[in-house]
A and B are shown apart, each in its own frame.
Chain A
Amino acid sequence: MTTAIPSIACLGIIGRNNNPLHISIFPSYDPQSNTFAPLRTPLEFSLLLSSSIDIFDLRTKHNAINNTPLATGDYGLLHAIDDRLAAYGFETNTGVRMVCVVDMRGRRAAVGSSSVRSGLRDAEMKPVFRAMQSAYVRLLQNPFFAPDEHLGPVGGHGGRRITSRKFGEDMKRIGEGWTPGVTNL
């Protein structure tokens, strides 16, 4: 007997000018066919990430009006897309946004194993964003990486994407390694 636990379906990095910097998509478990396949097409994930930009902006405005700025860059749950997918967000002070789309039933786990719990707390996403941020820091420390070429024009069209192999591997490790309860990635 198995049951489903959350897994990461997609990791996205968005530049300060709303330009896409990186998208990684991870397959989810499908109990019908007993295989792993992405839940949505790359285009659909890309649209999900775009829509999360609006929520970042709204929250920022909202926080500014109420004079309640965030203590950390952690935005928590941005939006629940349907009964499976939910997007969580993080923003750095330089305006780089990281989005993690979680599939609430993306992995199977044996019933009774300690990792089975219902729901997902915001705190459980913290290690993901911490790992993404440190991967991003490592990327910036590569002298051959030119941050100014990755800014993109205001408006979000064009601009270069991250092509670093190391960064891609880091994202893959985070996306595949995370399940609720993992504290270190």
Chain B
Amino acid sequence: MSSNKASRIGEEIWKTRIDKVNTELVTLTYGTIVVQLCKDYDNDYEEVNKQLDKMGYNIGLRLIEDYLAKSNTMKRCTSFRETADMIAKVGFKIFLNITPQVTNWTNDNNQFSLVFDENPFADFVELPDDGRAQDELWYSNILCGVLRGALEMVQMQVEAHFISDVLKGNDTTEMRVSLLRYIDDELPPEDD
């Protein structure tokens, strides 16, 4: 499926089949979660990143069903490149109304970057000035978990992490996604 077609599908679903919700509700709710995690883990930002990823993973496991239902497709992506396009132009479009750019592919087509021009989670956010948050906290880390969880449900094991964030003063917000392997359908345990 060409990437143009993917954008059209994303646009179409966004317009017709999605219930909209106020962005401030989303932004403030997510912000509260992150801040509460920071408090609960005593500003151990490594741990906060981990928890956000875990929460995202659990969201991803469920969200994929919704994605498949809304995008109304039974056809599998034929390549990881197509998967990337569908994530950016359909997945992110219908759930967050953004379309990150897919770039920086490795030659083996197993790794790409999602570059976020906008990020509704991070509107208004200013990381705390404690000398560590700027280095350690990946504010939108929940998104990595969502991708990992969602793709795992469609037999793809991936690893995702942010490598830059405008909140930290970088020019762009970039997430690196690598395909580790396709998970084979496991055979049922044999009866002996």
- A positions within 8 Å CB-CB of B: 138, 141-145, 163-166
Contact = CB atoms under 8 A, between A and B. Distances in A.
The 8 A-B residue pairs whose C-beta atoms are closest, nearest first, are: A143-B31, A141-B124, A143-B35, A142-B126, A144-B128, A142-B124, A166-B126, A138-B124
27 contacts: A138-B124, A141-B24, A141-B27, A141-B28, A141-B31, A141-B123, A141-B124, A142-B31, A142-B124, A142-B126, A143-B28, A143-B31, A143-B34, A143-B35, A143-B124, A143-B125, A144-B35, A144-B125, A144-B126, A144-B127, A144-B128, A145-B126, A163-B129, A164-B126, A165-B126, A165-B129, A166-B126
A76 to B, nearest CB: 30
B26 to A, nearest CB: 12
B178 to A, nearest CB: 30
A144 B124 CA distance: 10
Contacts of B127: 144
Interface residues of B, number: 15
B32 interface: yes
A143 B33 CA distance: 9
Interface in B86-138: 123-129
A164 B109 CA distance: 42
Given A141-B123, A165-B129, 8 more contacts: A141-B31, A142-B31, A142-B124, A143-B28, A144-B31, A144-B35, A144-B125, A164-B126
A182 to B, nearest CB: 25
A166 B125 CA distance: 10
Contacts of A163: 129
A167 to B, nearest CB: 9
